[in-house]
């Protein structure tokens, strides 16, 4: 299955155009390294949570917007080889010096897809992103639930679902995925997203989803899961 490199970033809202240009200029380089798809999405419906949320995950300030983004690779070996190339390529250092955001508060990690479903439809015009703490021993139970949810998303108009299990999720000095979901000993982090053709379909889909909750107990602490809606500003799959 696809290997995902997932990122969450706090970007000054005034730097949206600069961020989009920065990502667009970087895309050909990442493609050269082996990235098969690069997606950057801008926070649109990102609510404050009681325990965790996207803003707290990256210590976002009042004048900043959260970006949810990911790279797709065909497998982990390709991603690991790409990472080595990035570390030694002087173009990456130059790019890092021109980042229009505080890289110290960016969180990132590598994730193995455990559910990957293309559901048809018109492609991606809106994204729901999720970050979830899941006990290691409940990986299969989580996957089973995710498969059920995927069928529901399909019925509600979603075009693609990815659920990916933490594989290479480093601790950070300022922020990281584990701190973002207040992960406990024995828990892993899931990075997932649902693609929709547009926001209207997404909003109608969630309204319908609320009426068709799956049976059974959630295999994770839902109070520490966080999610939000995002508008794509770059998707290399669209050419």
pLDDT at 215 exceeding the cut of 70? no
- Asked if residues 99 and 14 have their Cβ atoms less than 8 Å apart, the reply is no
What is this structure's pTM?
0.96
In the prediction, which pLDDT does 213 show? 65
Query: How far is C-alpha 172 from the chain's CA centre?
Result: 17
Q: Burial code of 118-128, b = ≥16 C-beta within 10 A, e = fewer?
A: ebebeebbbbb
- Asked if residues 88 and 190 have their Cβ atoms less than 8 Å apart, the reply is no
What does the pLDDT look like over 1-52, one tens digit per residue?
899 999 999 999 999 999 999 999 999 999 999 999 999 999 999 999 999 9
Question: What is residue 46's three-state secondary structure?
Answer: coil
Cα 201 to Cα 78: distance, rounded to the nearest angstrom: 34
Q: Is residue 239 part of a domain?
A: no
- Asked if residues 175 and 57 have their Cβ atoms less than 8 Å apart, the reply is yes
- Asked if residues 54 and 228 have their Cβ atoms less than 8 Å apart, the reply is yes
Residue 217 is part of which domain span? Answer: 3-234
Only one residue has tokens 């999610």, namely 227
Q: Is residue 29 part of a domain?
A: yes
Indicate the number of domains in the chain: 1
What does the pLDDT look like over 78-93, one tens digit per residue?
999 999 999 999 999 9
Q: Is residue 94 part of a domain?
A: yes
Q: Residue 210 — very low, low, confident or very high, per pLDDT cuts 50/70/90?
A: confident
Question: Rg of the chain's alpha carbons, rounded to an integer?
Answer: 17
CATH number at residue 87: 3.30.70.100
Strand-pair partners of 45 = 229
Q: Is residue 151 part of a domain?
A: yes
In terms of phi and psi (left: phi > 0; alpha: psi -120 to 50; beta: otherwise), the region of 123 is: left
- In this structure, the number of other CB atoms found within 10 A of the CB of residue 25 comes to 11
């Amino acid at each position: 299955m696809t290997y995902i490199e997932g990122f969450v970033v706090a970007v000054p809202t005034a730097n949206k155009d600069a961020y989009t240009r920065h990502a667009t200029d970087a895309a050909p380089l990442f493609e050269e390294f082996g990235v098969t798809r690069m997606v950057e999405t801008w926070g649109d419906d990102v609510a404050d949570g009681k325990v965790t949320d996207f803003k707290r995950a990256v210590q976002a300030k009042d004048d900043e917007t959260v970006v949810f983004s990911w790279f797709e690779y065909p497998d982990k070996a390709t991603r690991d080889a790409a990472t080595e190339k990035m570390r030694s390529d002087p173009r990456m250092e130059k790019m890092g010096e021109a980042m229009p955001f505080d890289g110290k508060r960016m969180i990132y990690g590598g994730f193995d897809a455990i559910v990957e479903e293309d559901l048809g439809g018109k492609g991606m015009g809106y994204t729901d992103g999720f970050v979830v703490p899941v006990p290691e021993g409940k990986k299969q139970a989580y996957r089973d639930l995710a498969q059920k949810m995927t069928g529901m998303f399909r019925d509600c108009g979603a075009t693609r679902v990815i659920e990916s299990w933490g594989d290479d999720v480093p601790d950070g000095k300022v922020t990281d995925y584990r701190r973002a979901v207040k992960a406990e000993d024995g828990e892993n982090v899931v990075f997932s997203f649902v693609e929709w053709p547009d926001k209207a379909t997404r909003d109608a889909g969630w309204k319908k989803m609320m009426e068709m909750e799956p049976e059974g107990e959630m295999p994770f602490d839902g109070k520490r899961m966080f999610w939000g809606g995002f508008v794509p500003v770059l998707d290399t799959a669209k050419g």
